[in-house]
Amino acid sequence: MVKQKQLLQPGAVAFCFGKNRNLCYTIHLMKYGGVWREETEMNQSKGTGKQLESGIRELIDCGALELLRCLEGNPNDMYIPYMMNDALEDYFILTECTAVGELKTEFPRGTTVELVPEHQGNSLILHRPDGTLLTLQYQQAQEVQQLYQYHTIGHFWRDGQEQWRQLVYIIGTIYDKWNYIGAESCNMAEQELLPLMTFAPFRYWSPIHEELDFYPDSEAGLDCMELLAKQAGDTVYLSLLRQYRQHPDMTEQLAWELAKPERRALYQVIWEKLSRAASGYPVRDYGMVLNTRIASQRRQVTEMLYQHGFEGRYPCFRKNTMQVVAAEEHPFTVFGLEYADFTFRIQFMVSHTKEPQLVWNAGFFEGTGRIAHSLSELETML
């Protein structure tokens, strides 16, 4: 089954699921303009004709093909975003590209792709169903692919159990790059967590306003959660998982069991593994000006919380029975591939409990005396 591109809330970036790229939830393709920062040589590789052609076919199948010029850098280059999400930026560049024909913004299903080889002049011809043609003549096709840290990311589109929804989003993001790019894009720690996306009670806590029921269920997903529950010492959930093997209709029951405070240790185990898995990748580099501005925003958050009696260090702070965890939204490094109004920002997961919180986001679990909410402005909480 092929599902059409669906645009989520601004900032949703790419949330692409489905074996063999059959299913895309994506904001691959963004508005013109922005700031260009040259990629380092090690992040660029010459894209073969086959890679370029197959990539464009897949984008057409998803209804997601778009051709972009960035105002900064070489204005003659053409960009084709392939997969852009919080963990990965992958796009093609056609250098010194000239467009001949109708440069429309839409390429509906049924558009065919014809690649003219290098010895005949390096051209890409798009035949639309309405009979119109677009020919892209270029010097060289390059594929740029860069992996990034992602464990501090937080998008809050749905209320309730935000701590689990954040994990589902992040592990889904890892699943995307594995599914689209291959196992070489994931380290071993990430590959150990990937099966969680095929465990239905975990993905029950969808971060978007649609359920994630297009995922397959697998024994590997159940095995993965069982191993994590053992590591957390959660014998109650282990017992439920054994029952679930025989009674898969218990999905909703096991999902709501995750929401109970007794699952705090399990949540902490997953969170710590995820953080270690992501920490080996580089942070996004926006250039000196924006990097300095981002560092300043983080410093301001830290200073403000210290002034109000909180302890800790960014991104996690505590004061008595109250906890604040900062979660960030990151734009792409090539701003011409991002929404013009989508910029770096910090949001806050604020939780209250009866006792001091030793686990991140403990107040987000169900139970008396637990109060939690996500905020876009810190001042409203202090």
Strands 112-116 and 123-127: antiparallel
The pLDDT mean for the chain works out to: 84
Per the document, the length of the chain is: 382
Read off the pLDDT of residues 38-55 as tens digits, 9 standing for 90 and up.
232 334 343 455 688 889
> Are 269 and 231 in contact, with CB atoms under 8 Å apart?
yes
| Higher-confidence position of 51 and 191 | 191
Quickly count: other Cβ atoms within 10 Å of residue 340's Cβ. Answer: 13
The b/e string for 78-97 (b: 16+ C-beta within 10 A; e otherwise) is bbbbbbbbbbbbbbbbbeeb
Among residues 111, 146, 181, the one where a domain terminates is: 146
Order of strands, edge to edge, in the sheet holding 78-84? 44-46, 141-147, 88-94, 78-84
Among residues 101, 128, 146, the one where a domain terminates is: 146
Whether 305 and 371 share a structural domain: yes
Q: Look at residue 303 and give its three-state secondary structure.
A: helix
- Establish if 337 belongs to a structural domain: no
| 343: pLDDT strictly greater than 90 | no
Angle formed by the axes of helices 264-279 and 219-232, nearest 10°:
110
pLDDT at 49: 59
| 376: pLDDT strictly greater than 90 | no
Whether 294 and 364 share a structural domain: yes
pLDDT at 50: 61
Q: Give the mean model confidence (pLDDT) for residues 71-83.
A: 86
Phi, psi (degrees; rounded to nearest 5) at 238: -60, -45
**Number of compact structural domains in the chain:** 3
| Residue that the structure tokens 């679930």 belong to | 244
Structure token digits, residue 303: 């200073």
Read off the pLDDT of residues 359-374 as tens digits, 9 standing for 90 and up.
888 889 998 889 998 9
Q: Give the mean model confidence (pLDDT) for residues 184-212.
A: 95
C-alpha to C-alpha distance for 61 and 80, rounded to whole angstroms: 15
Q: Who contacts 225 (Cβ-Cβ below 8 Å, separation ≥6)?
A: 196, 199, 201, 202, 241
Residue 162 identity (one-letter amino acid): E
Q: Who contacts 341 (Cβ-Cβ below 8 Å, separation ≥6)?
A: 10
- Establish if 304 belongs to a structural domain: yes
| 19: pLDDT strictly greater than 90 | no
Domain housing 119: 15-146
Whether 126 and 240 share a structural domain: no
Q: Which helix (H) or strand (E) holds 103?
A: none
Whether 118 and 28 share a structural domain: yes
- Establish if 8 belongs to a structural domain: no
* This model's pTM is above 0.75: yes
| 317: pLDDT strictly greater than 70 | yes
Residue 196 identity (one-letter amino acid): L
Read off the pLDDT of residues 352-362 as tens digits, 9 standing for 90 and up.
998 887 788 88
Whether 276 and 166 share a structural domain: yes
Whether 140 and 153 share a structural domain: no
Among residues 146, 161, 193, the one where a domain terminates is: 146
